[in-house]
Structure 1
Amino acid sequence: MERLPYIDQHSRIIKTDRARAWAALLRTTCENPEDLSTLPSGFVLDEADPPKRLATKGQHPFSRYSLVFTLEEAYPGHTRLTAESRGVFPGIHGRIYRALVIGSGGHRLVVREMLRRIAVTAERS
């Protein structure tokens, strides 16, 4: 796994155990939770260590990036879900893309909303 420059990290405490949080992560991020190759367009599986870690990566002409989810017991019956983003944005087009996606705050909003949806899914199951 290539170690890309750090972008940001966001966490959320989910009121359930790690196994249920993992299942919710897969239901929320994969088209088919039984098949980790069905991640959203633009992402492929880099590494998985259920129910502790799901690492994804991707690339396009303006960026190479990774999004890694880690799940750890925060305290009994509660899981801390963390999403860490890394990426490189080469060239002038990459710098412009980074400004639009990261600099605008849009990336932060999308990641936080994703964590919220995973938490809601986990806590409902």
Structure 2
Amino acid sequence: MKPHSLPYVDTHTAVLMAGPDAVWRAIGEVMDRSSDGAARYAELVGCADRKASGPRPFAEGSTIPGFTVTTVVPGRELVLTGRHRFARYALVFRLEQHGPGRTRVSAETRAAFPGWSGMLYRLLVVSSGGHAGGMRRLLRAIGRRAK
């Protein structure tokens, strides 16, 4: 799946008080640590990838519940893609140096929600604000871990 072929949903951005290498490491650690709860959710919605596998730090083909790593440019870009009964989606992390010891990290979401069940899922998860809240929490966790 090509992430840029999916419709744009949103982008969340934070400037973190850590260099790109520390932020890169933190993204991997936070995504791996969220695997326990994510595995239960991945099972519930029928995700293609339901468990963590593959090399760490992430390499193309590594998985975490709900996602497959499809692009890795260490310290710059990480692309995770996935699918389940209600959606096909991608989460794209981009890192940029933002001054000495500071990194701007953005998390872009792209997704397609086919059919009536997909529309309902989008309403419940995205339109409700749940997705945005989850992304803000994710970026805060990455910021705490990167210090």
Whole-Å separation in 2 of the counterparts to 1:50 and 1:97: 33
Q: What letter is aligned with 1:25?
A: I
Residue 34 of structure 1 is matched in structure 2 by 56
The residue aligned with 2:27 is: 25
Whole-Å Cα distance in 2 between the matches of residues 35 and 77 of structure 1?
A: 22
For residues 51 and 103 of structure 1, the distance between their equivalents in structure 2, rounded to whole angstroms, comes to 31
Q: CA RMSD in A?
A: 1.5
For 1:70, give the aligned amino acid. Answer: R
Q: Residue type matched to 1:78 in 2?
A: R
Structure 2 unaligned residues grouped into runs of 5+: 34-51
Partner of 2:42 in structure 1?
none
Alpha carbons of structure 1 residues 52 and 24: separation in structure 2 relative to 1, 3 Å: same
**Aligned partners of 1:79, 1:85: CA distance in 2, in Å?**
19
* TM-score (norm. length: structure 1): 0.92
Correspondent of 2:123 among 91, 99, 106? 99
**TM-score calculated relative to the size of structure 2:** 0.79
122, 127, 138: which is aligned to 1:114?
138
- Report the identity percentage: 39
Distance apart, 1:113 and its partner CA = 0.2
**SS of alignment partner, residue 76 of structure 1:** coil
Q: Deviations over 1:57-98 (max 9, x none)?
A: 000111000000011011121000100000000111100000
**What stretches of structure 1 move > 3 A for 4+ residues in a row?**
none
Q: Which has the higher strand share?
A: 1
Q: What is the number of equivalent residue pairs in this alignment?
A: 122
Structure 2 residue 64 is matched with structure 1 residue 46: no
Deviation at 1:30, TM superposition (A): 2.3
Corresponding letter in the other structure for 1:80: R
CA separation of 1:58 and 1:38: change in aligned 2, threshold 3 A: closer
Q: Which residue is 2:47 aligned to?
A: none
What is the distance in 2 between the residues matched to 1:49 and 1:117?
21
In structure 2, what is the Cα distance between the partners aligned to 1:103 and 1:77?
A: 35
Aligned partner of residue 98 in structure 2, secondary structure: strand
CA distance in structure 2 between the partners assigned to 1:38 and 1:92 by the alignment: 28
